[in-house]
Chain A
Amino acid sequence: MEMFSNANDFLLWVRGDAFNIALTILIIGVFIRVMEIFLLGRKNDFSEPRGTEWGPGLKNIVTRSVADNGTFKRAPFVVVVGYIWHICFFIVLLFFVPHIELINAMLGIKWPGLASQFVDAATVVAMVALLAMLWHRLTHPVLKFLSTYEDYLVWFVTFLPLLTGYIAFHRMIAPYPMALGLHILSVEILMVVFPFTKLMHAITLFIARWYTGAMMGRKGIES
């Protein structure tokens, strides 16, 4: 790399300027996407409400986390592996102590971490789950037909931080500042891609589920 005289300079850049750039793009992108959704609005509903909106809306955010029976019967692989992936991913993201330090520095909140071997195992399971998902996407004829360039991009930018994190933790690339720098850079790529792809589901799922629950609540339907 011509730009950097050594791995430490690279690490400093990804921890400094590159992070600021990625964070700026992430925040601007998320604000544009979310405000677009809210500002589009809905037509006034003049019918007399039969129930409340807020309670059922919030409840729906939680209850929709469980796949309904029909979905599970149709795609058990996606449901099970999807669960495994998300749980392991959140273990890695939220319970690895260096990650908690990052969150604490930025948001001022912290909680106890998990032993790094446990996080390490979760990383491996998460990677295997992602690889299984990719294999499923490539072998399932319907899924493959429906998959676009974006689906593979999203898979790739999600897989990369796990892989580079695993490499950095096990110090498989020397020197370590290079390994850590690549990991942080891969997360920054994810941050940049996030608002403009279906990765936004991490935020919009709350809006979508709440809205569904609230509409049903207003109509007096039990959700």
Chain B
Amino acid sequence: MNKQTLFKSLQQQGVTRRGFMKYCTALTSLMALPPSMIPIVANALETAKRPSVIWLSFQECTGCTESLTRSHSPTVEGLIFDHISLDYHHTLQAASGDAAEHAREQAMKDNYGKYLVVVDGSIPLADPGYSTIAGISNLDMLNETVAGAAAVIAVGTCSAYGGLPHAAPNPTGAVSVSSLITDKPVINVPGCPPIPTVISGVLAHYLTFGSIPELDELGRPKVFYGQSIHDRCYRRPFYDKGLFAETFDDEGAKKGWCLYRLGCKGPMTYNACATLKWNQQTSWPVESGHGCLGCSEPNFWDAGSFYKALSIPDGDYAKAAGYAVAAGVALGAAAGFVNQKTKSAAVSQHSTVSVDDFAVNKDKK
């Protein structure tokens, strides 16, 4: 690890003490810690050494890296990211070929047991040939790199849950990192892409506490994925009042009403978009008039139409209903036929009682 501390590195890039403290305060509140923790967070970040990070890109679109690096102006989040010793990243590193692979091997050797591995993209298991780097299959590179890692951060829905490559019919046999790595802590930071603040926030948490944050059952840090979009949505009051946009350009849409009817997946999606927003807190999908796609949830590509309300069945129910009506009519007719048969059989077998029948009994007496 590099000797320079985070605060020194930030100072060199023009971040004031005040700016740094503001960031620490925001981060502390973001991580749902009490205000008394602010100095501790600040102190930890001030003195944190540069951790070595190896970033592996597998079956991905580089959107996650873009999310983190394409800020219009440098942010503290971005600078935190700059601060880490990013020893290997296909897209960002200058080196290529053998030199690049050598950098990865060197970083692993120098920081064995201490470095962080960030993975974006899914891993193909159907045929390793679908995605290779320097002739090494994604699976081999992952296993080899993770062997000496302190923890693995799966950035983006592809590496966290398989994402787009995993979508039906999943031709490459794509799987998530957590389905392969079971002997190291794996932190899922899903999103397509994830919010930059969340990516840097997870790194900051690791720098502050030296441990991984508390995770939910899908491996996501609860501090960022603990609440649903729906619960924190500024359009929520319209949902409660029963005011909904029904098309993307009707009166309701213009008035900013709830987008549930247009297929918003906010109720089932756990992410921080509604509070952290995007592009330096400018806006976020729902604010710009489009429902949430649920991109931080597993299998969101296969979870039905983006424009179908959550309460609507997803299967081909019209076909099922059609067959059911046909079968129902046939079985109903059959049941009616059997019932009539039973009825007419009962009528024909009905024996009448005559006076003579009683006479027999009389004789017996």
Contact = CB atoms under 8 A, between A and B. Distances in A.
Interface of A: 5-9, 11-12, 15-17, 19-20, 23-36, 38-41, 97-99, 101-102, 105-106, 112-117, 171, 175-177, 180
A156 B310 CA distance: 26
B298 A30 contact: no
28 contacts: A6-B217, A8-B297, A8-B299, A8-B303, A12-B304, A15-B314, A15-B315, A16-B313, A19-B315, A20-B313, A23-B317, A23-B320, A24-B323, A26-B324, A28-B324, A28-B327, A32-B335, A33-B332, A35-B333, A39-B335, A40-B343, A101-B261, A102-B309, A102-B311, A105-B308, A115-B240, A176-B228, A177-B268
Given A8-B297, A16-B313, A27-B321, A180 B328 contact: no
Nearest to A116: B240
Interface string B21-61: 00000000000000000000000000000000000000000
Contacts of B320: 20, 23-24
B316 interface: yes
A26 to B, nearest CB: 8
Given A19-B313, A23-B320, A105-B308, 9 more contacts: A8-B298, A19-B315, A23-B324, A25-B324, A27-B324, A28-B328, A31-B329, A97-B239, A101-B311
B292 to A, nearest CB: 13
Interface string B236-256: 000111101000000000000
B contacts with A: majority SS: helix
A39 B337 contact: yes
Contacts of B129: none
B340 interface: yes
B69 to A, nearest CB: 30
Given A6-B218, A105-B308, A115-B240, A35 B335 contact: yes
A209 B315 CA distance: 36
Nearest to A101: B309
B328 A31 contact: yes
Given A98-B309, A116-B240, A171-B228, A36 B315 contact: no
B315 A35 contact: no
- What are the nearest 4 A-B pairs in CB distance? A31-B328, A39-B336, A35-B332, A98-B311
A12 B240 contact: no
Interface in B285-322: 297-300, 302-304, 308-317, 320-321
B339 interface: yes
B321 A97 contact: no
B331 A32 contact: yes
B140 interface: no
B207 to A, nearest CB: 28
Contact of A12 (B230, B302, B323, B325): B302
Contacts of B336: 35-36, 38-40
Contacts of A175: 216-218, 268, 270
Contact of A40 (B244, B299, B339): B339
A39 B242 contact: no
B242 A98 contact: no
Interface residues of B, number: 50
A10 to B, nearest CB: 11
Contact of A17 (B268, B302, B315): B315
Interface of B: 216-218, 228, 230-231, 239-242, 244, 260-261, 267-268, 270, 297-300, 302-304, 308-317, 320-321, 323-325, 327-329, 331-333, 335-337, 339-340, 343
A189 B203 CA distance: 46
A204 B331 CA distance: 18
A100 to B, nearest CB: 9
A15 B239 CA distance: 22
Contacts of A30: 328
A106 B310 CA distance: 14
B302 A20 contact: no
A117 B240 contact: yes
Contacts of A24: 320-321, 323-324, 327
A171 B300 CA distance: 20
A16 B311 contact: no
Nearest to A37: B336
A102 B312 contact: yes
A16 B261 CA distance: 19
Contacts of B260: 97-98, 101
Nearest to B300: A8
B332 A39 contact: yes
Given A102-B311, A105-B309, A116-B239, A8 B268 contact: yes
A175 B241 CA distance: 24
Contact of B325 (A6, A25, A27, A40): A27
A12 B242 contact: no
Contacts of B310: 98, 180
